């Protein structure tokens, strides 16, 4: 094996052939386990050592590898949880919801008296009664909350939002279920403009409270102008209520310091009322074109994996 470096002078950086840079970037885009290595994530130093061990290059530093990877925003030391589409009708189901967000249903524009409701449950919200004091921010110091706490129970927050009006509805219950979901539906559908609307589309996931065709038929029996629209399996990110829940988590529930469940419920409902006074509809920018591009990339990735396994 020959040294791939070309040394220009005592103070100059080593120059590596483009092929070496390319091969090291390709190495960084592999899982360590696929190379028989006993760790889950590469660091730049790990990649440098593996490149030397595998004969890609005679010598290279972790800092040099980091610089190459940084140029292409490759960060194998980071990871995020991810769920690949598993629903065989993912594209069709997702497209229906994205059409609703754009104001269409079955290719036709929604009427002024059609409404789109996004609904879900935020489960197991705990009341954590802190053992010590909760101190406010001060110059040079953020809030401080005691690490130890006593559990004071948990509840569920069942909520819905009108995606085009930024109107929020919610109830708290001991647990989720068909009855709790029914109470939320009643809360929405028994008031204007929904009770006299032409159609009210309810976007939900596939949770047990509203799963499958049975739930579609049940909702239609409760209210004849209500239409259940399910997200694909493992695609709650298509449900706009999840964006509101992220606001609730950030603004109300973190850090969690509540003496009891009554206080949790009071804070959730008071925040809901306060939020909708200043809220505007979310600017949903993910369209069917974006969906098709995403699915095309995933398909290309799957085909590449199959080719690599067959090689």
- What the block records as the tokens of 96 is 């229906």
pLDDT of 307 over the 80 cut: no
Q: Judge whether 55 and 1 are in contact, CB under 8 Å.
A: yes
Does 90-288 carry CATH code 3.40.50.2000? no
Q: What is the structure's pLDDT at 13?
A: 63
Mean pLDDT of the chain: 91
**Mean pLDDT of the region 251-274:** 96
**Mean pLDDT of the region 95-106:** 95
Q: What is the structure's pLDDT at 10?
A: 52
Q: Judge whether 119 and 160 are in contact, CB under 8 Å.
A: yes
Strand 226-230 relative to strand 199-204, pairing:
parallel
CATH 3.30.420.10 location in the chain = 90-288
Q: Judge whether 281 and 164 are in contact, CB under 8 Å.
A: yes
Residue 120 φ/ψ region, left for φ over 0, alpha for ψ in the -120 to 50 degree band, beta for the rest: beta
pLDDT of 306 over the 90 cut: no
Q: What is the structure's pLDDT at 5?
A: 47
pLDDT of 189 over the 90 cut: yes
The predicted-structure confidence for 53-97, as pLDDT tens digits, reads as follows 999 999 999 999 999 999 999 999 999 987 778 888 999 999 999
Residue with the larger pLDDT of the pair 66 and 289: 66
The predicted-structure confidence for 21-37, as pLDDT tens digits, reads as follows 999 999 999 999 999 99
pLDDT of 309 over the 60 cut: no
Q: What is the structure's pLDDT at 299?
A: 77
Instruction: Give the pLDDT band of residue 308 (cuts 50, 70, 90).
Output: low
How far apart, in whole angstroms, are the C-alpha atoms of residue 79 and residue 77?
7
């Amino acid at each position: 094996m020959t040294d791939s470096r070309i040394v220009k002078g005592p103070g100059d950086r080593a120059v590596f052939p483009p092929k070496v840079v390319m091969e090291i970037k390709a190495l960084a885009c592999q899982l360590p386990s696929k190379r028989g290595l006993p760790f889950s994530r590469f660091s730049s130093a790990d990649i440098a050592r593996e490149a030397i061990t595998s004969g890609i290059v005679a010598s290279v530093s972790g800092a040099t590898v980091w610089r190459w990877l940084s140029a292409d925003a490759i960060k194998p030391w980071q990871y995020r949880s991810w769920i690949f589409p598993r629903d065989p009708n993912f594209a069709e189901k997702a497209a229906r919801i994205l059409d609703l967000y754009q104001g269409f249903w079955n290719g036709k524009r929604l009427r002024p008296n059609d409404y789109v409701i996004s609904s879900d449950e935020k489960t197991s919200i705990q009341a954590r009664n802190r053992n010590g004091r909760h101190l406010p921010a001060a110059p040079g110091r953020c809030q401080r909350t005691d690490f130890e706490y006593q559990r004071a129970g948990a509840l569920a927050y069942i909520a819905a939002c009108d995606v085009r009006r930024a109107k929020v509805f919610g109830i708290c219950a001991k647990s989720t279920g068909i009855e709790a979901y029914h109470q939320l539906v009643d809360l929405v559908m028994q008031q204007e403009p929904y009770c006299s609307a032409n159609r009210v589309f309810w976007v939900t996931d596939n949770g047990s409270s509203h799963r499958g065709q049975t739930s579609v038929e049940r909702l239609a029996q409760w209210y004849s102008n209500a239409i259940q629209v399910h997200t694909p399996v493992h695609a709650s990110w298509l449900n706009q209520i999840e964006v509101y829940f992220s606001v609730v988590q950030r603004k109300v529930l973190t850090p969690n310091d509540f003496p009891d469940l009554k206080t949790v419920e009071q804070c959730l409902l008071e925040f809901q009322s306060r939020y909708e006074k200043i809220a505007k509809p979310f600017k949903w920018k993910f369209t069917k074109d974006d969906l098709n591009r995403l699915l095309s990339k995933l398909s290309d990735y799957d085909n590449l994996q199959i080719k690599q396994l067959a090689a």
